[in-house]
A and B are shown apart, each in its own frame.
Chain A
Amino acid sequence: MRGGSISSRPSDPIKPLFLRGPSPTLRVILAVVCALGLIIADHRFDHLERVRSLLSVLAYPLHLAVNVPAALVRATRDRLTDAAQLRAMTTALGRENLLLKARLQQFESLEAENMRLRDLLGSSFNIGERVLIAEILAVDLTPSRQQVMVNKGASSGVFVGQPVLDANAVMGQVIRTNPFSSVVLLITDSDHSLPVEVNRNGLRAIAAGSGVGQGLELLFIPKNADVREGDLLVTSGMGERFPRGYPVARVTTVRQDPDNPFTTVLAEPTARLDRSREVLLVWTLDPQMQQKALTGAESSEDATP
């Protein structure tokens, strides 16, 4: 493209037969060296993260524009819902709300009791997290990876490593923040694993994403371990990244392979990874603040889990 500026002098009306400027061979060598350098720099070192997050501001309008058709379809569908459907939905939601409220009454008293008991034992415990609701942008990133983009970024205080939940369970964690958006790695990605425990008996394990489809695999479970189909796996909080006690997955298969020294345990995430549109970004309050909240005020309205 630089060659064009030389050849397109006003006195030269016909297209040049030969390209001017540095020869294409020289250019391609330069480009390949640059590309390889960038790949190595991006893969091995973190220096490019800052550049990427700056440049992603340029890509943000494109990501928003891509989101428009999906949003339009959704808006039209919302507009076309008829009254009967809306009435049915309101009834269902009202019923669910009643149910949840009833459960919450119990939950609050149980939480208070739990806190008292833990206080007696002198152990610290997460009492609360701050959450922020973010919306998943309808952007298709690299298809072989399980990643999604959400519409809250560093400007909202999102940080790398932050846990992401949906209404049911843990979804994943933030791996890259841009000023106005961030990228979330889902727990089913083959590069992701998280510490969990079996809710029934507290057996600790590591749940790794299988990358293929929507599954998790528990690693290094001994042959005699007590894991059954249908067991609920919850976060154990051991990695100090995910808050403790959030549901992750339900065990679907427990298999003993003769050639494998460990039990093969497969699980299916409880979060609706491919369907939820809104996600929760969680900030865990640090222990000092928790202690203050514990001793300072009896109730902790602002720190709702």
Chain B
Amino acid sequence: MTDAAPRGGWLIFVSLLVALFLTVLPMPAATDAFRPQWVVLVALYWCLTVPERFGVFAAFAAGLAVDLVTGSLFGQHALGLSLIAYAAVELHQRIRLFPLWQQALFVWVLLLVERLLNLWVLAATGQPLPFLIYWVPTLLGLLLWPWLFVILNDLGRRAGLV
């Protein structure tokens, strides 16, 4: 099953690339504020399913990629992502046994933590603070999680990753 070279690493890379693409994809101004935290969702999925392949450092790198692509401060997204990746990696054995909806709730809490850390960096560096609508994407993430889980699970199985 597991060869000397682990299989399916490309899937992790491609899924993160797609998430980055969706992060900067232009949307109508009215819906722009509701953009889900794609990269966080995808990174969390890999942390929960293959923590031995995708851990804290990989999440850190993904966060740096977000910072690079969106032009935010270097480390702004990396900080939140690596911290919630830590929580996910530490608790993955318990979380994987949960039913899907409980898992989604756990993910929602992590999404909130990521937003909070991001907000903290924004405030600490004196950047303009977003409005209350800033928290809405976490709810969208909660709704999206089961779908994302099923899709990535299927893809991961085909790629021999999960």
Contact = CB atoms under 8 A, between A and B. Distances in A.
User: Chain A, interface size: which category?
Assistant: 35 or more
A133 interface: no
Contacts of A117: none
Given A25-B86, A31-B60, A59-B68, A42 B4 contact: no
User: Chain B, interface size: which category?
Assistant: 35 or more
Interface in B114-148: 121-122, 124-125, 127-130
Contact of B89 (A19, A32, A35, A58): A19
Interface of A is mostly: helix
A224 to B, nearest CB: 32
B156 interface: no
A11 to B, nearest CB: 10
B82 to A, nearest CB: 4
Contact of A3 (B55, B60, B74): B55
Contacts of A147: 71
B25 interface: yes
A8 B6 contact: yes
B57 interface: yes
A95 B162 CA distance: 66
Contacts of B50: 4
A266 B19 CA distance: 40
A10 B3 CA distance: 6
Interface of A: 1-5, 7-10, 12-13, 15-16, 19-20, 24-25, 27-28, 31-32, 34-39, 41-43, 48, 51-52, 55-56, 58-59, 62-63, 65-66, 69-70, 138-145, 147, 149, 176, 183, 190-191, 211, 274
8 smallest CB-CB distances across A and B, nearest first, come from: A38-B75, A31-B82, A35-B79, A28-B86, A35-B75, A39-B75, A27-B56, A138-B26
Interface of B: 1-4, 6, 17, 20-21, 24-27, 29, 32-33, 35, 50-60, 63-65, 68-76, 78-79, 82-83, 85-86, 89-90, 121-122, 124-125, 127-130
20 contacts: A3-B55, A4-B6, A10-B2, A12-B2, A16-B52, A19-B51, A20-B52, A31-B57, A31-B59, A34-B60, A38-B73, A38-B75, A39-B125, A62-B21, A66-B25, A66-B26, A70-B26, A142-B72, A145-B127, A190-B128
